[in-house]
Amino acid sequence: MTAPLARDVRFGGTWSPAQRVKNDALFAAASLALGVAVRLPLGARVRLGRALGAVAWLWPPLRARASRPARAALGDDAPSSLACARALGELAARWIEGLRPRPYPQLELAEASREELRRALAPGRGVVFATAHLGPWEAMGPLLVAEGFPIVTVTRESYDPRFDALYRALRDAHGVQTIPRGSPGAPKAILRALRGGRVLGFPMDLSGRGVRTVEAEWFGRTAATPVGPAELALRTGASVVVGTPAPRGQLLICQVDTRGHDAGSLTQALATELAARITALPTAYPWIARR
């Protein structure tokens, strides 16, 4: 096991004593902040989230790390790093609303998108739902469940397993089933979901350790992009859609024709569509996570 993986608990590693102290402190701070924030009225929480985003922006290394990928992707059209920090603080504040056991209205599903997803499900082979960490992405699953769609999402395990319980609680409260991608039974669970005619969500904008990738163009540059969703769709005959939050609070869904594609070209088609969605809503994207 290489040195980074030896310290990554997601791959059977163990934390060093210093990592444990740091992660325990972060978890305690996050738990305390959530315990307080969830009790605040939404308006006060949003104002606090935007303020905290601005405070985080004051740290120069963090500011530079967030602004570089946005400028590289969008050039002069890139939003200011301060605007992004404040917007992401607000998104986090609204995300906390999802911890309440009721739907949280951050998105609306237009009739055209509703019909697009119904058409994709009609053949009965399931749907690969390609998406990105854009805007209130956690609100998509609850909204689609409330609309009567059978939603399953493939999740990436947190660096700290204690946070996974929080994420599961958030999704379980709204009927969104999850499959941790690193779990031993994940491949079979994914196939069962598609064979059961479900909508299977895959974030594709950020890769991670242990994920098979191909090079695909994003914003005029190539980047490692998960190829599993494309391979899965082509192997099973599942329909493919791209779905993300869009401007004016809409959830935008469109079907992608898989005919004539191999896994690499289909991955590129999905990356192209997702990059266009991000370009249309750049302030609501976590540029800090891109490399």
- Statement to judge: residues 67 and 152 lie in one domain: no
> Which one has a higher pLDDT value, 277 or 8?
277
- Statement to judge: residues 93 and 140 lie in one domain: no
Please, what is the end-to-end C-alpha distance for the chain in angstroms?
A: 24
- Statement to judge: residues 84 and 136 lie in one domain: no
- Statement to judge: residues 191 and 93 lie in one domain: no
- Statement to judge: residues 177 and 146 lie in one domain: yes
Of 47-51, 91-95, 217-221, least confident by mean pLDDT is 91-95
Report how far residue 23's alpha carbon sits from residue 35's, in angstroms, rounded to the nearest whole number. Answer: 18
Domain termination site, one of 97, 125, 148 = 97
Q: Round the average pLDDT of the chain to a whole number and report it.
A: 89
pLDDT number for residue 164: 82
> Which one has a higher pLDDT value, 179 or 128?
128
- Statement to judge: residues 45 and 187 lie in one domain: no
* Cross-strand bridge partners of residue 218: 221
- Statement to judge: residues 89 and 112 lie in one domain: no
The answer to whether residue 291 is domain-embedded is: no
pLDDT number for residue 4: 57
The answer to whether residue 208 is domain-embedded is: yes
Residue with tokens 């999850």: 178
- Could you list the residue range(s) of the whole structural domain that residue 79 is in? 3-97
The answer to whether residue 237 is domain-embedded is: yes
- Statement to judge: residues 121 and 89 lie in one domain: no
The answer to whether residue 209 is domain-embedded is: yes
pLDDT at 121 over 70: yes
Report how far residue 136's alpha carbon sits from residue 116's, in angstroms, rounded to the nearest whole number. Answer: 21
Report how far residue 129's alpha carbon sits from residue 121's, in angstroms, rounded to the nearest whole number. Answer: 11
Domain termination site, one of 97, 120, 145 = 97
pLDDT number for residue 217: 96
The answer to whether residue 103 is domain-embedded is: no
**Cβ neighbours of residue 237 under 8 Å, at least 6 residues apart?**
123, 125
pLDDT at 28 over 60: yes
- Per the structure, the count of domains in the chain is 2
- Statement to judge: residues 267 and 151 lie in one domain: yes
pLDDT at 49 over 70: yes
Sheet strands (E) in the chain: 108-109, 127-131, 151-155, 177-180, 199-203, 213-218, 221-226, 239-246, 250-256
The answer to whether residue 157 is domain-embedded is: yes
pLDDT number for residue 5: 59
pLDDT tens digit sequence for 210-260? 788 999 999 999 999 999 999 999 999 999 999 999 998 899 999 999 999
pLDDT at 261 over 90: yes
The answer to whether residue 102 is domain-embedded is: no
The answer to whether residue 59 is domain-embedded is: yes
pLDDT number for residue 80: 93
